[in-house]
Chain A
Amino acid sequence: MAFAAFATETAKEQTPRRGGKIALLLLVPGLLYLGLFFLVPLFSLVFTSLQAPSGVNFGQFEAAFKIENYAVFGQYSEQILRSFLYAVLATVFALLFSYPLAYFIGVKARPWPLLQNLMLVLVIAPFFISFLLRTIAWKSMLSDESPFVTGLKAISLLAPDAHITGTPFAVVFGLTYNFIPFMTLPLYASLERLDTRYLEAGSDLYAKPFTTFRTVTIPLSMPGIVSGVLLTFIPAAGDYVNASREFLGGTGTAMIGNVIESNFLLSNNYPAAAALSIILMLAILVIVLVYVRVSGTKDLL
């Protein structure tokens, strides 16, 4: 009997203790943070999106259940589609630029840790300067008076009356540029762990370098690709800086973020802006769920 009691006691100790008081205590700050900065704004957004004009003053609304507010979806379908198109393009370009870069830093540069660290610093260095400042800098570099644009015009690669800023090209370029580090870092993290012995095995089993890349390297770096794509696509779809007229965009490049911004800040149409925000959120959620399901990396969610 005594032995049995002893045995169960030791067995209990091996299983992780659940619901310990200290564990709960440690969770409190995180839960408070989530409640305060995620749940409260989310509910507030949902309530705002259902408000109706109070009819007394312009720009004042009262609690209601005006589901028709969500009809703004039809009004701004062009901007919504454009947002996702730009975000997809920026994600694809960021992936195409980042993969070779991350592969070089994480795999090829392994014998030289100093070079690896230096290149990682170069990837992260842009974060030391404000995102807005960097985008403004690109605006002046791509402006009509810049040496780059006048040079292109001088050698007739650009029509004399053409512009770069204000075009979809400039917006996608800006999005790609701003989100490249978010793509490169997760890719680097997964490629850095890539066991090159698998590549040797592939080559030993008659796979040409490209086949090895397609059948071994890409599947093994899939977690990095998935998280890089999510980290780039989600903020890029909701971005309103690059596409705004003060930065790289023009009248024809407005994205959903710009519409939300103008509804909130210019026309004070809070319910419409809130409804658009929720539509954007749900659309991104659906796209992300489909993407994660298709790419087969369920462990991430």
Chain B
Amino acid sequence: MAGAFAEAGADLELVDLHKRFPGFTAIEEMNLVIPAGSFFALLGPSGCGKTTTLRLVAGLEEATSGRILIGGKDVTETKPYQRPVNTVFQSYALFPHMSVIDNVAFGLRRRGISDAKGKSHEALALVELDHLSARRPAQLSGGQQQRVALARAIVNRPALLLLDEPLGALDLKLRRQMQLELKSIQDEVGLTFLHVTHDQEEAMTMADTVAVMNKGRIEQLGAPEMLYELPRTAFVANFLGQSNLFTGPVSGTTATSIAVDVEGTRIVVPKARAERHTGTVTVGVRPEKLTLHTEAPEVDSSRNLLGPGRVIDVSFSGVSTQYILAVPGAGTVTVFAQNMGVGPLVADGAEVWVSWSVDHGFGLEDEAPPAPRFDADTDTATIAVQKKRALMSELEEA
């Protein structure tokens, strides 16, 4: 590979990849194919093995077993400098003793490519930093350093570009701007991008395909909308956005849907959106799909109904308001409501019902989680609220 520019991105294939460190397993049996030219995001909490995966692909760590193929060629045994891969490091790792232009030209010079300087200036122009090419990295701001790191990687036209949380150190506004820039650069140069992040919003806005990792394995992989609409496990349902989850035995089945009995309340989920159709099943719904009712609504077979419950927390966040309800039998339920009117719909302590369209529910493939140690209506949030009420009434009496 070294010596030639990749015309386009290449496939990345991980076959039965394992990585064990002394004392723990970072990656357990990873099988993954990333098609050429795609923007792929590995999403997961810290310590889930996503950075290790990236380092394995870059060659900075050695796999315990398994194979890594780039563009169909086995690179498992090769050294990092032999792989057609470049990394944008989380710390940027710009060489502090070199000017910006020398940093960018470093890879080209090592491969003996002619006109390294001209190509580096082009790459810097792409990230709109050509006017700072004579500076040292320490003289640049965090966002500028990040763009230099990006230019230093893409100038080599690697078959595969690895991004290790490169936007982590930037403030929110700059991060948004860089996300859009990264995406447009990827469209422009057509390379395969493998982006590691713990920011679910970043993963969803940028990537074509997102893989959610947990404890060294990929929990679920798919397009962002698909992952959000149909999470397969409780981890994905809660890591990618928020979810209201209810567990209970399947009490009835029709041709198109299953009904789950959650402490006396019937929750219906379409079969097509449920992973398992028998036994004890966990079903869920996204908080923004719920509608709040201040009076008991009429029973409608196309909607699931929970309630009555009590509002235990209202938090206003501009665009929407988040309500937390304590519903006997169903535990706490989170509702996001758009702020269409002025002020919150209901106040703290109000009695409410929630409903949602049957089509919006989803069923998880997880086995039932262990039985809760406390009754659902006495979780810590409820206890805190009850304590507060008791104190208030005591104070009023006094």
* Chain A positions near chain B (C-beta within 8 angstroms): 195, 197-198, 200-208, 211, 215-216, 219-220, 222
Contact = CB atoms under 8 A, between A and B. Distances in A.
A202 B95 CA distance: 9
B87 interface: yes
B95 A198 contact: yes
23 contacts: A195-B93, A197-B89, A198-B95, A200-B80, A201-B95, A202-B95, A203-B79, A204-B60, A204-B85, A204-B86, A204-B87, A205-B86, A205-B152, A205-B156, A206-B2, A206-B81, A206-B110, A206-B156, A207-B81, A208-B81, A208-B110, A211-B110, A220-B97
B91 interface: yes
Contacts of A203: 59-60, 79-81
A24 to B, nearest CB: 34
Contacts of B81: 203-208
B395 to A, nearest CB: 43
B111 interface: yes
Q: B-side binding surface: helix, strand, loop or mixed?
A: loop
Contacts of A200: 60, 80, 89, 93
B356 interface: no
B111 A198 contact: no
Interface string B105-120: 0110011000000000
Contacts of A220: 96-97
A129 B96 CA distance: 41
B167 interface: no
B110 A207 contact: yes
Contacts of A211: 110
Interface string B78-104: 011100011101010111111000000
B106 A219 contact: no
B60 A198 contact: no
Pairs A-B, 9 closest by C-beta atoms? A205-B107, A201-B93, A206-B110, A203-B80, A219-B97, A197-B93, A207-B110, A206-B81, A204-B87
Nearest to A203: B80
Contact of A201 (B59, B79, B89, B97): B89
Interface in B110-162: 110-111, 152, 156
B377 to A, nearest CB: 51
A211 B95 CA distance: 14
B58 interface: yes
Interface of B: 2, 58-60, 79-81, 85-87, 89, 91, 93-98, 106-107, 110-111, 152, 156
A217 to B, nearest CB: 11
Nearest to A206: B110
Given A202-B95, A206-B2, 15 more contacts: A195-B93, A198-B96, A200-B60, A200-B89, A201-B89, A203-B59, A204-B85, A205-B81, A205-B156, A206-B107, A206-B111, A208-B110, A215-B106, A216-B95, A219-B97
Contacts of B106: 202, 205, 207, 215
A216 to B, nearest CB: 6
Nearest to B110: A206
Contacts of B94: 201
A5 to B, nearest CB: 35
Contact of B93 (A198, A208, A219, A222): A198
A197 B107 contact: no
Nearest to A212: B81
A214 to B, nearest CB: 11
A196 to B, nearest CB: 10
B49 to A, nearest CB: 18
A207 B110 CA distance: 6
Contacts of A206: 2, 81, 107, 110-111, 156
Nearest to B58: A204
Contacts of A204: 58-60, 80-81, 85-87
A200 B59 CA distance: 10
A205 B107 CA distance: 5
Contacts of A219: 97-98
Max count, chain B CB within 10 A of own CB: residue among A201, A205, A219: A205
Nearest to A200: B60
A203 B85 CA distance: 11
Nearest to A201: B93
B3 to A, nearest CB: 9
A28 B81 CA distance: 56
Contacts of B91: 197
Contacts of B85: 204
A211 B89 CA distance: 20
A179 to B, nearest CB: 27
B101 to A, nearest CB: 14
A216 B97 CA distance: 8
B42 to A, nearest CB: 18
B85 to A, nearest CB: 7
A222 to B, nearest CB: 8
B357 to A, nearest CB: 49
Nearest to A196: B93
Nearest to A208: B81
A211 B109 CA distance: 11
Nearest to B113: A206
A203 B80 CA distance: 6
A31 B110 CA distance: 52
A208 B80 CA distance: 9
B94 to A, nearest CB: 8
A201 B79 CA distance: 13
Nearest to B80: A203
Nearest to B3: A206
Contacts of B152: 205
B193 to A, nearest CB: 15
Contacts of B93: 195, 197-198, 200-201
Contacts of A208: 81, 110
A206 B91 CA distance: 19
A141 B350 CA distance: 94
A219 B87 CA distance: 22
Contacts of B110: 205-208, 211
